[in-house]
Amino acid sequence: MTVPEKGIPDMTRFHLNRHPQFAKPRGPVVEVIMDGVGYAPASAGNAVAAAYTPFLDWLLETVPWALIKAHGPAVGLPSDKDMGNSEVGHNALGAGRVFDQGAKLVSRAIESGRLFEGNVWRQLVERVAGGRGTLHFIGLLSDGNVHSHIDHLLAMLQRASDEGVHRVRVHILLDGRDVGERSALQYVEQLEKKLSEINGLHDRDYRVASGGGRMVVTMDRYEADWRIVERGWQAHVHGRAERTFDSAAEAIRTFYDEDPRVIDQFLPPFVIVDEAGRPVGPISDGDSVIFFNFRGDRAIEITRAFEDDEFPHFDRGRRPDVMYAGMMEYDGDLHIPRNYLVAPPEIERTMSEYLVHMGIRQFAIAETQKFGHVTYFWNGNRSGKFSEDLETYVEIPSDRVPFQERPWMKASEVADELLDAIRSGSYDFLRVNFANGDMVGHTGDFRAALMAVEAVDLNLSRIRRAVEETGGVLVVTADHGNADEMFMLDKQGNPLTSEEGAPKPKTSHTLSPVIYAVYDPAGIFSVDSSVKDGGLGNNAATILEILGFEPPEDYLPSLLARP
C-alpha cells in the first residue's frame, strides 16, 4: 500500500469507480425529502392519505417504488419501538450506513459506567461535591428517546448523590411532542419520587427549580427564535418567570385548569419558590451545569448562552461562572459545547464527501427549520462544506408564526430557488427538504396538516416538470412519519376522544415506513419494488449509482432494480 506524503491527503480513499451498468443521466439528479410524511393505510387522522395529492397519487400509480424503514435499528436507534427523527434520518440518508445514535450511545455509556469515569463528569462533580456548589440538570423530561430519556437523568441523579453531591437542582422542559401531549405529570411524578428517595436516604437537597414547555422555553433551534432561549435563561439562571409555584406538579395542573386546550410543549415558563417566595434554584458562580439532551439541534443555542463571551442575541444579565457540559458534543466542527459527557458517532466518508472528491456539483436547500438537516446532519454532523467551489447551500428563512396558521410555510419559496438551480445546469445533484409535514404535524392540527401535505405535493409537481425539461432523475422519499397519524388511536385504529368527544391530537412522530421512488423520464433507473428490508441508509448507494458510480463496499446496497 502506498502511503501519502506528509501533508498530502489520500485521494484514493475517496475514489469511486465508474459503474459498469449505469451512466450519469443527461440532467441533474434531484432528491426530495418530504419531512414527516410517512406512509400508512388510510385511517382516521392520516392527513397524508386524506390530502389532495395528485402528484403523489400519480407517482405511486406510475413508478415502481418501495417502502423503507425510517425508525428503530434502521436509523441507529435501540428498538423498533423508537420513532425515527429528522436528525438520525438525515444522518442515514447521507452516510450510506447506519451508526449507533444518541440514545444508544448514552445508554451504553451509563450502563457500562464509562460516562461516570470520564474526566468531564469527574470535574463537574468535584467542583460542587461536599456542598461547595450546586449541580444543575437542564433538559427534556420524558421517555420520548428523541432528544433525551428520563432514565438517563435518574441514573445521573443517583450517581451524583453516591459521589457526595449534596445539592442538585433540575430544570425541566416539558415534552408533549415526542410523547403524549398531556403526559408531563407522569414524568414529574417519576422524577419527584427519585428526588424524595435521594433526599430521604442521603440527607441531600435535590429539587426541581424551574421549567416550561419545550416550544416556549429553552429549546429553540437554527436561531429561529432566540426569545425561546431567553425565557429559559431567565427561568433557569436567574429564577425569573411571570409565574411561580410551590412545585412543578402544581404549575402543570394550574396551567391545565386555566386552559383546557393547552398541551405540554406550549406551557409557559415557571419557577419553583420556597416558603418566603424566593426561587429555590438559580444558577450561581461555582456551580456545575449539565444539559442532558443528547440530540444537538435544540441544545446548541442554550449552550451558546452559557459559553459564548460575545453574545448579541439577548441581554443575559449576570452570566454565572459555571462549568457547563452537554450530554454529547452537539456540533463537532464548532466544538459546541466545550465539555460533553458522551462522544457522538463519528460519521465520515459520507456521500457528499465522496461526490466532492469526484467533482460532482451539489446543491442543498431548505427553509430554516430543516436547513441544518440537509447540510449538517446530511454530512455526518459536520458544519460547513466539503468544497466551497462544488457545493451551494441555500437557507430560506422560516416565518415566525405558529405553523398551523401558515401550513404552507415556505414550500413555494424553497421550490422557486430549487427550480432555478435545476434549470441553471450548474449542478449534478440537488437535495431539498420540505419541512411542512413534520413542523405542522407536530401542532396536532389535522386540517393544517392536510394543507401542509398538499403544499408539498403542489411543489413536487413543479419539480417534476423541471426534471423532465432538463433530462434529469427525480428521487422522492421522507425521513420519518408524522402527518400520517394526527390522532391518538386505540388498538382498533379508532381515535381516542376528549370529554367533549373531539379526537385527541397526536403531536409526535410515527413508526410508519416511508416511500422511496425514482422517477426517470428516460426509463433507465427505477426502484426494485420487491425490496422488503430497505431503510434510509440505502439511499446513498442508490444516489451514487444514479450518478454513475459504484458505491463503497461498506455502504448499504442500492435500491435500484438491475437492468
Catalytic residues: 86
Place of cell 466544538: 335
* Strand arrangement of the beta sheet that strand 429-434 belongs to: 65-68, 514-519, 473-477, 29-34, 429-434, 362-367, 391-396
Long-range CB contacts for residues 159-164, cutoff 8 Å, separation at least 24 = 159/116, 160/125, 160/135, 161/198, 161/202, 161/204, 161/206, 163/116, 163/125, 163/129, 164/125, 164/129, 164/130
Report CA Rg, the chain: 24
Place of cell 465508474: 18
SS3 437: helix
Cell representation of residue 308: 459564548
Residue 287 φ/ψ region, left for φ over 0, alpha for ψ in the -120 to 50 degree band, beta for the rest: beta
Do residues 244 and 270 lie in contact, with contact meaning Cβ atoms separated by under 8 Å? yes
SS3 157: helix
Partners of 139 in the β-ladder: 172
Rounded Cα distance, 320 and 284, in Å? 5
Partners of 549 in the β-ladder: 18
Residue 343: DSSP 8-state: P
Residues 437-459 as b/e (b if ≥16 CB within 10 A, e otherwise) read: bbbbbbbbbbebbbbbbbbbbbb
Q: What DSSP string describes 23-57?
A: ---SS-EEEEEETT-----S-TT-HHHHS--HHHH
Nearby residues of 200 by Cβ (< 8 Å), 6 or more positions away: none
